[in-house]
Amino acid sequence: MDPVNIAFGADGKLWVAEMSDYPQGADNQGSPGGRVRYLEDTNGDGKFDKSTLLLEGLRYTTGVLPYRDGVLVSSTPEVFYVEVDPKTGKVGKRTTILDGFGEGNPQHVVNGFATGIDNWIYVNGDETGNIRSLATGKIVPMSGRDGRFKPDTGELETECGMTQHLRSRDDVGQWFGGANYCPFWHYGVEERYLSRNPFVPAPRPWNDMYGGYYPAVFPTSRITGKFNDLFTANRFTSACSPHPYRDQLLGDGSDQTIFACEPVHNLVHRARLVRQGLSFRAERFPVDASSEFLSSSDPWCRPVRVLTGPDGAVWIADMYRQVIEHPTWIPESWLEQLDVRAGHDKGRIYRVYPQGKRPSGPAIPNLARLSSRDLIALLGDVNGWKRDSAQRLLIERGE
């Protein structure tokens, strides 16, 4: 229920972060209700048929990422690591990696994660401030920036941002982010280069690839009540999860495709990346000139995470809520008529692929069983998840 983030483990599990305490706590009084679960395909038919709840009672769970013998979790005000017994699936030792993240509006809290080619883990969110590494004791001012860290050592650095909900990279390490009003930013330079000379004011490190705020969208749902930014109907107002597609299942040109979710308008948007100097511009594909990659006529459909799966399909987490705006922006007269938690016990995950190209065999291979030699071969695979997972396993094995 309330899936806001998903991540595939090298062993074939699909991990899910559930923000079931959105927007004001599980009891509307601030009680934590976030959860983490994993899904398994036990018979190898390509469909998940078993669901296991691992953690509950967390505060605004926004991210989960398989790492070594457990998972990393972003849950305000911290990022922590928890061990998971591979035989029993039970929770082991829990270790806080970072803390100090803000506890304000849950639309703006820390969220993760993305893995870099550099073997750092990236986090973002605009309720940041002074973040402490528990391993080193170092406090890093992260206000207005994203961050990256190494779970094993506790190293923590700032990175060019500030992405609101999920940043992502392509195959060669180009980073993308965005904000509610702007689906696609490209970060053309890394902060460690800009910070080398503190006496030179650095230029803005990102490029708005659509060239303006609130670009148009084409929903198929009926426009329901919107309480702020009333002039932005049929325009991006809740853009999140910018994600370059990282496979070839979608066909020619798919390696130049980037996606973003727009939950207010019940859709997932697709654009084409076009090189423009050192950066990119985003433009609609001709087939999407007046439509979207995925849109629902159901006004409760709230896609918030899009991801390239190990099978090349596009996987989408649908939080599924009647109200997606935070009560902060809703007048009291309307709040009296609304159940802002309607749908808190629901949620969906979609798997989207082209007609006639249904992925065959097990959707999610178990890479954890492979030899290091076999993992090296996967570093050249067309699928980004397989390359990233193989690299992570080789690093973890000390190879």
Instruction: Identify the pLDDT of residue 222.
Output: 85
| Count of Cβ atoms closer than 10 Å to residue 371 Cβ | 8
| Contact in structure between 92 and 70 (CB atoms under 8 Å) | yes
Spell out a b/e string for 102-111, using b for 16 or more CB atoms within 10 Å of the CB, else e. Answer: beebbbbbbb
Is the pLDDT assigned to residue 329 strictly greater than 80?
A: no
* Residue scoring higher pLDDT (226 or 250): 250
- The amino acid at 212: G
Greatest alpha-carbon span in the chain: 64
What is the average pLDDT across 372-388? Answer: 96
Between CA 77 and CA 130 the distance in angstroms is 11
Say if strands 3-8 and 146-149 run parallel, antiparallel, or are unpaired.
unpaired
Instruction: Identify the pLDDT of residue 226.
Output: 55
Which DSSP letter does residue 313 get?
P
**Residue that has been written with the tokens 């001709």 in this structure:** 286
| 3 state DSSP class of 376 | helix
* Lookup: tokens for 66: 């398989």
Q: What percent of the chain has pLDDT over 90?
A: 74
* Lookup: tokens for 150: 């190494």
Please name which of 237, 260, 255, 250 lies closest in space to residue 306, comparing C-alpha atoms: 260
Between CA 379 and CA 392 the distance in angstroms is 11
Instruction: Identify the pLDDT of residue 362.
Output: 59
Instruction: Identify the pLDDT of residue 229.
Output: 58
Instruction: Identify the pLDDT of residue 270.
Output: 97
82-125: per-residue pLDDT in tens? 999 988 888 999 999 999 998 878 888 999 899 999 999 999 97
Name the least confident of 100-109, 114-123, 357-366, 377-386. Answer: 357-366
| Contact in structure between 93 and 69 (CB atoms under 8 Å) | no
Please name which of 33, 57, 164 lies closest in space to residue 111, comparing C-alpha atoms: 164
154-199: per-residue pLDDT in tens? 999 999 988 999 999 999 999 999 999 999 999 999 998 988 998 9
